[in-house]
Structure 1
Amino acid sequence: MLLEKLLEEFDVDPNTFSSEESKLFDQYFEQISVRKNTFLIKEGETEKYSYFVFEGLLRCWIINHKGDEQTFWFCKKGTFSLSNISFTLQEKSAFNVQTIVDSVIYRIDKNKAAELYSAIPRLKTVFDDLTAILLNKILNRNIDLIKYSPEQYYLRMIDEYGVTLNYIPLKDIASYLGITPQALSRIRKRIF
């Protein structure tokens, strides 16, 4: 069940919604299979769907001032894609969202989302809280980049992502840490 998986990822009491509401939630989403390296959205596009990552992994990235791809976020299973910012605001996306591995994703369009909020009115309040939690995670990432060395931050990533980290290309991890792949290689040699 999608809703239960989402609530679990954000440490929200799974009994917040009844089993009937959870089943109803799932009915509003369309399941799609997405191949590795597929763009869900490209910079400059306006998102038509809200995506929930059921299985798989996404990366959010931009081209930085040097002309290199800069990864700044990973959307793991049990979370929504950051392209939801463009979806919610109906503004052009400032970044790209791309699958890292073959993924199973559920999506919902604006009309279905409005119907879903009408069908389960409490959902809007809970989603507002989840959005605040996500914003706090993004803020903490920015603080952690200042607070920790790349090695310390990489160790924190190992704790957070577990085995999922094995599926992320090293160049993307290095980019996320703001270091070169060679520097990441040296860190990995020291740790392992």
Structure 2
Amino acid sequence: MFEPLDRFVARYITLTPEETELYHSLFTLKKVKKKQFLLREGEVCDFEAYILKGCIRAYYTDKEGKETVLLFAVEDWWVSDLSSFMDRKPSNLYIETLEDCELLVIDFISKGILFESIPKFEKLFRILVQRSLGVLQQRFYASVSQTAEERYINFTARYPQLLQRIPQHQIARYLGVSPEFLSKVRGAMAKRH
């Protein structure tokens, strides 16, 4: 079960067999059914999860109950609420499974042990945080500088594997448009091609 995570880790750091055994002992396999919450608004996030199988979304709701999807995550990706996890404060997010999932999960205390025992893991998690920040910056830039059609085209180019796995209304919430508007955009694009 650790082979995918071992391959992921090996892209960034080299471990001895003893270090590998130790880090494996700090992660827990978690199987979660579709449409289950890993985190709800108001809870403190106590996990970072590497996805072995499945699809997950993170979103928040405004005062009127309207959802905005922040991210989708699938196999070989990580999911968490980093600010809640690091600062031990209540989350603004919901993290929900869109498919049956298998996750390798590390909690806050175990991550501290991991960093103390194998400091090179700090490099791996620093790279993950930097990549997440870069993705969020690009996403913010797109939201203020691109049309809905341009955002949809970029989404389909960047994440083609998600199109068959995520309902169109969820993609619309990610793009910041209504499902009806996304349907019109897709229709107009189809007519042109």
Structures share fold, TM-score greater than 0.5: yes
Find out whether 1:14 has 2:11 as its counterpart: yes
- Which runs of no fewer than 5 residues in structure 2 stay unpaired? none
- The answer as to whether partners of 1:49 and 1:84 remain within 8 angstroms in 2 is no
- Which runs of no fewer than 5 residues in structure 1 stay unpaired? 8-12
Identical-pair percentage: 24
Find runs of 4+ consecutive structure 1 residues off by over 6 angstroms.
none
Provide Cα deviations, 1:127-170, integer angstroms capped at 9, x if missing partner: 12321221121111000111211111111111222122211111
Q: How many angstroms does 1:172 deviate by?
A: 0.9
- The answer as to whether partners of 1:3 and 1:25 remain within 8 angstroms in 2 is no
- The answer as to whether partners of 2:55 and 2:75 remain within 8 angstroms in 1 is yes
Q: Which amino acid aligns with 1:30?
A: T
Counterpart mapping for 1:24-173 below 5 A: 24-173=22-171
Give the number of aligned pairs. Answer: 186
- The answer as to whether partners of 2:47 and 2:80 remain within 8 angstroms in 1 is no
Provide Cα deviations, 1:42-79, integer angstroms capped at 9, x if missing partner: 00001222222222121111212432222122223222
Find out whether 1:4 has 2:10 as its counterpart: no
SS of residue paired to 1:101: coil
- The answer as to whether partners of 1:60 and 1:95 remain within 8 angstroms in 2 is yes
Q: How many angstroms does 1:190 deviate by?
A: 3.2
Residues 130 and 178 of structure 1: CA distance in aligned 2, closer, same or farther (over 3 Å): same
- The answer as to whether partners of 1:75 and 1:82 remain within 8 angstroms in 2 is no
- The answer as to whether partners of 1:4 and 1:22 remain within 8 angstroms in 2 is no
Q: Which amino acid aligns with 1:147?
A: S
Cα RMSD (Å) of the superposition? 2.0
Residues 96 and 64 of structure 1: CA distance in aligned 2, closer, same or farther (over 3 Å): same
CA distance, structure 2, for counterparts of residue 3 and residue 191 of structure 1:
41
- The answer as to whether partners of 1:44 and 1:94 remain within 8 angstroms in 2 is yes
TM-score for both structures, normalised by structure 2: 0.86
CA distance, structure 2, for counterparts of residue 118 and residue 18 of structure 1:
15
TM-score for both structures, normalised by structure 1: 0.86
